[in-house]
Each structure stands twice: as structure tokens, then as C-alpha cells.
Structure 1
């Protein structure tokens, strides 16, 4: 049986959702972030050397990285994966890798930049806050707006990222859009809002929330 090592408020929520969509039998091992540092606990390092989530184990296999786990599960079941051929197949592959390779880094940087000044010595905080605010305004914000515009355009045709129906590429893209909603804003991006509305209404998504526990981005 598949065991998912699940970390609260993390990328592993996508794997929990995919497992529910695929109807696979699985067990879940829950791990909680440190409430002060928000870092993953040491218990995850006992499962995989990187100590990150998600991780799955099955039949002697220990597999980390969301995209690799998605490939494993879709190949195992033959569902939610790429079309057999054509341009849509490569669109699927693009968004499967783009989600973590290009979309998430500026979102993570925005979060980190917002927290660095608070962790500095008290006397330095008034000096460094304007520096990080300018980095955010000049460098990060234009990048995030560029990505959000790209998502809005990509969803225009069908409401999904890789073809007329939902695929694992959409599940991969859910986390960037969920985290961007509060950090970028979708007021002028109806396709992005509609995408989040339709995934949040799916029975498998709702069941994954019930199983996984509190998830700040839903």
C-alpha cells in the first residue's frame, strides 16, 4: 500500500488530492510544522534525507518531489497523465515541470523577503525593511504579475492548463495559484479565479481536505 508522508500547509496536499482523484488505497502519516519557524519536523528526515514533503513509500520505494510522485501515480493507474501524442502532451509536460521550476520560486522569494527584516537585530530592521520592500517592488512583483498573466492566458481556452479536461498538470498548478491568490491577487483575472473555484468544488479535493486537515490556501 502507498503511504503518503503529509506535511500541513504544504505541497503534499496536491498528492493527497491526486490519490483521492485516482481512487487509490493509501495510508497517511501526518507531520506538523514547527509553529514558530514553520519548518518541517525532524521526523520527515527519518523518511527521506532532505526532510521535505511530500514523500511516498510503497514496496521498498521511497520517492520525494511532487512531480516525480505525480508521474509515479499517473503511470501506475493510467489516469490523469498526458495524452498519448500531440502538442497537448507537451503542454502537459510543460506545466507539470513549470509549476515548481518557474512558478513557485518567485512566490517563495516573496514570502522569504517579507520575513527577513523581522528576524534581524532590532536596530537594523528600520534600515532593511525599505531595502526588501524595494526588491519586492522592483524585482519580484513584476515577475509575479508576468506569471499570473501567463496563467490567465493559458486557462482561456478550456479552463484547464493542458487540454479540455483536468489532468495532473492542473493538480501541479493548483499550489502556485492558491499561494498567489493572496500574494498577487486575481481581481482582474477571472480565469484564475474560475480555475480555483472549480478545483475546490471537486469531491476528491474536498475529501483530501477532510483527510489532510487544515490547509491555509484552500
Structure 2
């Protein structure tokens, strides 16, 4: 069995890459051959388009890992899915499509629209929709392995374990994994406080901390 991971985030080491690579590691441990493609800029050249086309058609399982951007998938992910949708007939052998979608909102429910779009893509391209995981509070994940975050990612890691076990066996992501992935990584108020501190830290580093209330375009 071969699986290809499509990373749809422009960030090379963001939450999407962390989640995707964590799933691939678990698939590899179950004997699945894996490959990773970063979608940002991939379609700009014929070589990249050919690489995406070949990897997609050659995989038994395709997994998209992407964040929510303005209630939708990022442009690189949308472009890739549109390209693959228009790319002609797919092989007749059984193939599956799954998704890992994260968002910066406290609630994982904000990922549902993107997951629905992935489900529609699978149907249009003749792939079996193997399900997807929606993860909230994606800002907590940052860079590095999930294990480095300790107990706060325990439920998420268990969700990935269950998903990898099912996908490697040719099955759909179980509902139990979906529920575990959707569990908050930390209490909502604590997450909002940490997020606020993150915004303030960025403002300080960009020398705009004391101008956050500025309204330069407001008429007198």
C-alpha cells in the first residue's frame, strides 16, 4: 500500500505539516509506503504538475493536511484539488482520500466546511471518502513532534493512532478518532489568553504594540 500526503499550508513547519507527518509515521509503522508533497508553488511549473499527477494516481491513499483560511482551504490546496479534478479519468483500482484539517479557533467545528469540500472532491474524482479529522486550537501545535507537547496532545495522538490503523487496513477513519481529534487541547479561556499574548508579542516584535488602536483611515 502506498500513501501520499499533500500539505496544503504555505507554512513549511506549521500545524498541518505536524499533523500530516504524525499520521505518515504511524502509517509507515504499519508497513505503508509514504510520500510527502508540499502544494505551495508545486503547480507553477510543468515538472511540479507532473509530479503531483503521478503521485496522486500512484497512491492507494491520498491525505490532504491543511489549515482553515477564511472558512476555506488555502489557495495552494484549492488549486491542487481543482487540477486533480480536471486531470482526466483515474485508475480503476480502489483508492481512498482522507483529510486532516486544523484551525486556530477554539472549536474544531470550524473545520467542517473544509472537510465537506474534501468529501465532495473525493466523490467527483471517484475516490472513496475515508473521512477526516478536524482539529481546533491549531496554534498550540506549532513546530516539532506532537509528543513534545506532552499531555495536551494525548487525545490527538490517540486519534491519529486509530486513524492510521484503520487507513492502513483499507478502512475509514472511525468515529471515535473524529471525536478524540475534536477535543480541545486546552481549556477555552486559557487558549484565548495564550492567543492574545501571541498577538501582543507579534505586535511588539513589529514595533506596533503602542499603535494597536490606531485608525489612520478614519475621517475626522
Question: TM-score of the superposition, structure 1-length normalised?
Answer: 0.29
If each structure's strand is expressed as a fraction of its own residues, which one has the higher value? 2
Question: TM-score of the superposition, structure 2-length normalised?
Answer: 0.29
Larger relative contact order (CA 8 Å, sep ≥ 6): 1
